[in-house]
Chains A and B, each alone.
Chain A
Amino acid sequence: MNKTDFLLAGVGGQGVLTASDILAEVGMALGLDVKKSEVHGFSQRGGIVDSHVRWDTHVNAPLGERGRIDYLLAFELLESTRWADYVKPGGVILVNRQRILPMSVTIGNAVYPNDAEIDLALRTVTDRIVYVEGLEIAKALGNKNLANTVLLGALAREMDVDPEVWLDVIVKRVPQKYLEENKKAFWAGRMGELRNTQHVTRKI
C-alpha cells in the first residue's frame, strides 16, 4: 500500500469521527504509520466536521493537502462540494446521497444546490465519483446510525485491501450488541448496494 491521504467530511452527529478512527486503524493493521486529525468544538453543533486520515510508511503532518487527497468520503451531499478541491485530479469522491440542510438554507439566506449542480462541481475535480444511498441502506437495516459503516464498506470496494482487515478492526471497535448490524452494513457498502457512479435525479 502506497502513501494514501483521506478526507472524511460531514455534519456533526453523522459518525465522521468514528469512521475516521476505523480508517486510521485499518492503516495500522496494514502495518503502516498513520495520523488522523479533526476539529472539535463548535463543529459539533450541527456544523461542519472534517477529519483527515493519512497512511504512509512514516507520516509527519497530521493534515493532508488541498489538491492532493486520494479519497474524499463525503457523508453529506453539500459537504462533498465544500471539500472537493482537496481531492487530487483523478482522485475518488465517495458521496453519501443524504441532504442535511444548513441553517443558512433553512432560514432562506442561501439555496441548497441541486443534484446536477453538485455533480457538475465534483466533476471539475475528478470523474471517479461514487454515490451511495448510505442512509437508505442503514434505515433498511433498522438503524440510521449505520450509514457511516456502509460508507466505509463502499470505500473498501474502491481500495485494494482485504475486506477481512476492515472487518477485524470493526469487530474490535464496535460493541457486541451492534456488531452483526455493522457487519451487514459494511458488506452492503462493499458489495455496491444502491451504488451509482452517474448522477441520478431523485425526488426528495
Chain B
Amino acid sequence: MKKLLSGNEAIALGAYRAGVKYASAYPGTPSTEILENLAKYPAVRAEWAPNEKVALDSAAGACYAGARALAAMKHVGLNVASESLFYLAYTGVNGGLVLVSTDDPGAWSSQNEQDNRHYARFAKVPCLEPADSQECVDYMAMAFDLSEQFDTPVIVRTTTRISHSKSVVNVEDGNSRAEHPLKGFTPDPTKYAMIPAHSRRRHPVVEERTKKIAEWGNTAPINRIEWGDKKFGILASSVAYQYAHEVFAGYSFLKLGLSWPLPAQLIRDFASQVETLVIVEELDPFFETEIKALGIPCVGKEYFPMVNEFSLAVVREGARKLGVPQPPAVPAPATTLTPPPRPPALCPGCPHRSTFFALRKLRLRVAGDIGCYSIGVLPPFNAMDTIGCMGASLGVAQGIDAVGANNEKTPWVAVIGDSTFFHAGMPALANIIYNQGAATVLILDNDITAMTGQQQNPGSGITLQGQPTQKIDIESVVRGMGVQDVFVVEAFDERAVEKTLKHALAIKDRPSVVISKGPCVFLPTYPPKFTYAVNEKCNGCSMCFRVGCPAIFKGEIDTTTKQPKALIDPLLCVGCDICAQVCPHAAIDQVAN
C-alpha cells in the first residue's frame, strides 16, 4: 500500500519500525510533528522536554540503559543541545541513539539559516540526509543500525522542504516493528563517565570510528552513483539532489545519503570519471570545502548561492552559467500591481494583545523572546527591540540594567512566554536575582506552546499524549526563586495590565515579575465570549486599529473627522473585549452570538 506522508510523519514511522522505545523533543518548526506522530504509538515512550538539551540527555539515558532512543529538534535547538551531543560523541551508545535535526534554509520560521551538517563534523558523528519521505523511513532504520554498529550517536538531518513536504511512501509491511529488547546498562565508567582521564582515552576511539564510517560509506548503498552523461558529475544530498535531478537531467550523479564523514574514495572515483565535478548543496559549502581539501577539483558556490533556500529557478540559474541548456526563462508578467504585504498578526482574541498595546502606549524598550509574541516587533505595536534566541530576553535585560541603561528615561522590560520561560528563562531569572539586578520581567502565560501549534509544556498540566500531569505553577516558581514583587494579572483586562506594568516598573532596586495570564485562543479553556460590533458613536479616532486585530478593519469615512470608521468582521471576532476596552467613545458593543 502507498501512503502520502510528510518527512516528519515518515521519520516517526521509520523510528517506530526500527524499534525506538524512547523519544523526546522540544517543539520547534519544522521538527514538531515528529514527536506528535511518535506519541500515537503506545510502544514508544514519547515526551515533550522543556528544552532540547534535556531532550537529548534523556535520550542519552534511555540509550545507555540499552533502549533505542531518539531526540528531535529544529536546527537552533541543536545549539542548545550541543553540549550533550559532544559528550555523547565520546561516550558512544548502548542502544542506538538518533538525533533528528530539522534545518530551515530560507529561515521560514527561525532566527537564522545555520547548516547543521557542521555539527556532525564538529562533534565527529555521522550524519544522514534523506531526500524524500521514503528515504526518511528507510534512513531511520539505517541510522539506528549504524549507531549500534559503530557505537556512536547519529544525526539525521532534514530541511523544511524534506520535513514539511509530502511524498509517496511504500508501506507494504504496514506497521511491522523490529523489537529490540532492553539490553540493560553495563557499568563502564571509562566509556560513560567523561572525567579528563577517560575522555582522553575516548578521543582516539572517536577518531578511529570516523575513519571506519567513512570507509563503510565508500561502498554502502546509501551513497549512490547514477551514471549518465559524464560531462558533468553532480554531487548532491537532501532536497538539493531533487532540484539538481530535474535541472541536470541526463548527467551523472553521486547522491550522498551519508553526508558526514565523506566517502573519500567513492568521491575520488566518481570525480575521476567525469569532466567537471559540480557540488550542488544548499546553504554552506560544506562538501565543497572538504572535497577541495581532499585535493579533488570541483565547482560549487560560484554557481549556487550560500543564502536562502534553493528552488528549481535558483539551481537552473547555476546550471545556465555552467552552460547546461535550460528551458527559456519565463518573462515576468507585465502587471503593475504590487499586492500589499500580509505579515503575520496576533490572532483575533490573542491574550498577548493587551500586553503589546500597553507596551506600545507606555513607550517601553522591550527585550523580547521567541514565540507568537515575536509578532510584537511588527506594526502596529513596534514594541520589541531585541529578539535573539529562546530565553535571551532575561539575560539581555540584566545586561542592560547592569550598565545603567534601564533608567527613568528609557525603562526596559523583558518579555517571555510560558514555554520559553521553562525552556531557558529560569536560569536567566536566577541570574537576575542572584546578581541583585532590578529588571522588570513580563511573563506571558497562555498555558501552551502556541507558536508551533499548541504543544503542551510543563506549565500546561497535560502531557504530549493529552493526559493530565502535575502543572508547574509559574508564580510559585518565581516566588520560590526569591522574587518578592510578583504580580499576576488577567490578560484580557487591558487597564489592569497597564496599571500593573507601571507599578512593577516603579520598583527600582530589585527584580519584579508580572505574569499576564490568559489562555491561547485555540485552547478549549478559552472562555466563550460574545461577538462585538461597532456602533454609531465611532468617529474614526483609530484607537482600536492600534490593537492590531485582524478582525478590525477600516470602513466608511466619518463626515466630521474625515477619518475611516472601524468595522468588525463577525466571522473573525471571538470577543476578547480588548478593542472595546481601549475605545474612548464607547463605540464597540457586545452582540449576542
Contacts and interface: CB of A to CB of B under 8 A. Distances in A.
Given A28-B2, A78-B339, A117-B337, A63 B345 contact: no
A105 B340 CA distance: 7
A197 interface: no
A57 interface: no
A62 B4 CA distance: 13
Interface residues of B, number: 58
B4 A41 contact: no
Contact of A38 (B164, B380, B453, B554): B164
Given A65-B312, A82-B339, A21 B554 contact: no
A18 interface: no
Interface in B386-406: none
B242 A46 contact: no
B164 A34 contact: no
Contacts of A107: 379-380, 545, 548
A56 to B, nearest CB: 10
Interface string A41-52: 111111110000
Nearest to A62: B165
Contact of A121 (B108, B337, B550): B337
A141 to B, nearest CB: 15
Bin chain A's interface residue count: 35 or more
Given A35-B167, A43-B344, A102-B343, A61 B545 contact: no
Contacts of B132: 35
B60 interface: no
B332 interface: yes
Contact of B312 (A25, A63, A104): A63
A28 B1 CA distance: 11
A144 B570 CA distance: 13
Most B Cβ at <10 Å: residue of A28, A112, A121: A121
A78 B372 contact: no
Nearest to B329: A67
A36 interface: yes
Contacts of A117: 337
B564 A62 contact: no
Contacts of B468: none
B343 A65 contact: no
A45 B346 contact: yes
A45 B347 contact: yes
Interface in B103-122: 108-109
Most A Cβ at <10 Å: residue of B160, B166, B316, B346: B166
Given A34-B168, A40-B30, A105-B553, A45 B340 contact: no
B333 A85 contact: yes
A40 to B, nearest CB: 6
Given A36-B166, A68-B330, A104-B342, A25 B161 contact: no
A37 B165 contact: yes
Prevailing SS type, chain B contact patch: loop
B313 A78 contact: no
Given A107-B545, A107-B548, A125 B333 contact: yes
Contacts of A113: 337, 339
A84 to B, nearest CB: 6
A167 interface: no
A46 B550 contact: yes
Interface in B344-383: 344-347, 372, 375, 378-380
Contacts of B46: none
B466 interface: no
Given A62-B242, A113-B339, A103 B345 contact: yes
B524 interface: no
A127 interface: no
Given A47-B343, A104-B342, A59 B167 contact: yes
Contacts of B375: 45
Nearest to B548: A103
A106 B545 contact: yes
B243 interface: yes
Contact of B335 (A24, A38, A66, A120): A120
Most B Cβ at <10 Å: residue of A47, A79, A81, A103: A103
Contacts of A67: 329-331
A60 interface: yes
Contacts of A36: 4, 165-167
A42 B344 contact: yes
B334 interface: yes
B283 interface: no
Most A Cβ at <10 Å: residue of B2, B332, B335, B453: B335
A193 interface: no
Given A88-B330, A120-B337, A103 B379 contact: yes
Contacts of A118: 337
Contacts of A82: 339, 342
A175 interface: no
A142 interface: no
Given A37-B164, A68-B330, A102 B340 contact: yes
Contacts of B553: 101, 105-106
Contacts of A112: 340
A143 B345 CA distance: 25
A43 B451 CA distance: 10
Listed from nearest, the 7 A-B pairs whose CB atoms lie closest are A67-B330, A41-B109, A110-B340, A45-B344, A102-B342, A62-B165, A121-B337
Interface of A: 11-12, 21, 24-25, 28, 33-48, 59-68, 78-79, 81-82, 84-85, 88-89, 101-113, 117-118, 120-121, 124-125, 144
27 contacts: A24-B4, A24-B166, A28-B2, A35-B166, A37-B164, A38-B165, A40-B108, A42-B109, A45-B375, A61-B243, A61-B311, A62-B167, A63-B161, A65-B311, A79-B339, A81-B335, A81-B337, A88-B330, A89-B330, A104-B340, A104-B341, A106-B545, A107-B380, A108-B542, A121-B337, A124-B333, A124-B334
Given A63-B312, A82-B339, A121-B333, 6 more contacts: A37-B164, A45-B347, A47-B344, A107-B380, A107-B545, A108-B564
